[in-house]
Amino acid sequence: MNTNELIQFYALQISVVAALIAFLGQRVWTWVDRHNKTKRVKTIMHKNLSHLRKDLLRIRDKRNSPSGDPKQQIKFCKTSFSEVRGYAYLYTEFFLQHINDIDLTKYPNTIEFFLHYRINIETIKSRFEKLNNGHLRFDSVNILLERLNKTIEEFS
C-alpha cells in the first residue's frame, strides 16, 4: 500500500468508528444512565422498606404482645401510626417519580403491596377519627408483612 491508500484506509476506519459512536453512543449512555438510576432506586427502596418491616414487627410484637389470635386487634398509637404512615412517600413521591428509569413490570409485588398499604393506613386513620383508637387485626398486619417481604425481595 502506498501512502495515499494507507491514509484513505485509516480515514475510512475513523469514519466508521465515528459513525458507530454517533449512532450507538447516545443509546449506550442512556442505557448506562438508566441502569445506574435503577440501581440507586432499588437500594433506596430496599433500605426504606426494610425499615418499614422493622417498624411493623416492633408495633405488632413489642407494643402489642400478640396472642396469635387472627382477630386480635393490633393497636397503633398516634406515634406508631405516624411511623408507619411516614413511608407512603416511597411510592408516590419516589417510586413513581422514577417511572422512566425503571420497568414497572418487574415490580408487581411493589404495586400490590402499596395498594394494600394505603388501604390499611386509611383504615387506621378512619378508626382514629371514629373510635380514637387506631388498630388493625393481627391477620391483616401479617398479610401486610407477607406482601412487604415479597416487595423487599423485588429490590434485592
- The grid cell for 67 is 396472642
110 by Cβ neighbours in 10 Å (0-12 / 13-18 / 19+) ranks as buried
Predicted confidence band of residue 1 (pLDDT cuts 50, 70, 90): low
- The grid cell for 134 is 387506631
| Residue range of the domain that includes 45 | 3-154
What pLDDT, on the 0 to 100 scale, is given for residue 17?
78
d(CA 152, CA 136): 22
Summarised one tens digit per residue, pLDDT across range 64-113 is 877 778 888 999 988 899 999 989 888 888 888 887 778 888 889 999 99
Summarised one tens digit per residue, pLDDT across range 22-63 is 777 788 788 888 888 889 889 999 999 999 999 999 999 988
Between the alpha carbon of residue 44 and those of residues 3, 8, 14, 48, the distances in Å are: 58, 52, 43, 6
Query: How many domains, the chain?
Result: 1
Largest CA distance in the chain: 94
What pLDDT, on the 0 to 100 scale, is given for residue 54?
96
